[in-house]
Amino acid sequence: MKPADLIRDAGTGQLSHTKLWANVAYVTATVSFLHLVFVCHVPPDADIWLIYLGVVGSHCAVSKLISMRYRNGRRPDDLDSAAYRDNPRDLS
């Protein structure tokens, strides 16, 4: 993986603003967390860990959930139930 893949769309190869700003948020949260620990010498409490992991971890989980739910721009309940029942792997 190249560093440019962190901000490029996998399908088109163009700049993805969603990926760019998500990574900006990750870097900002990580730098803030490390600043508290190493510069201010504040040991991370459970509150700080939960906020940090909530910012960095929840975005990935929610993004994956949304992409699984709205696959190919179609909602799961939009599928023809008979066609889905006959061939559940062919969703397109």
Kindly give the interhelix angle for 17-34 and 46-69, rounded to the nearest 10 degrees.
170
- CA-closest candidate to residue 50, choices 61, 42, 58, 38: 58
Predicted pLDDT at 6:
87
CA nearest neighbour of 36 among 49, 26, 53: 49
At residue 38, the pLDDT reads 93
On whether the CB atoms of residues 25 and 59 are closer than 8 A, the answer is: yes
Separation between Cα atoms, residue 57 and residue 62, nearest integer Å:
9
Q: What residues form DSSP beta bridges with 15?
A: 8
Low-confidence residues in the chain, pLDDT < 70: 72-92
What per-residue confidence (pLDDT) applies to 15?
93
Listed by start position, the domains of the chain span: 3-86
Give the separation between CA 66 and CA 86, rounded to whole angstroms. Answer: 25
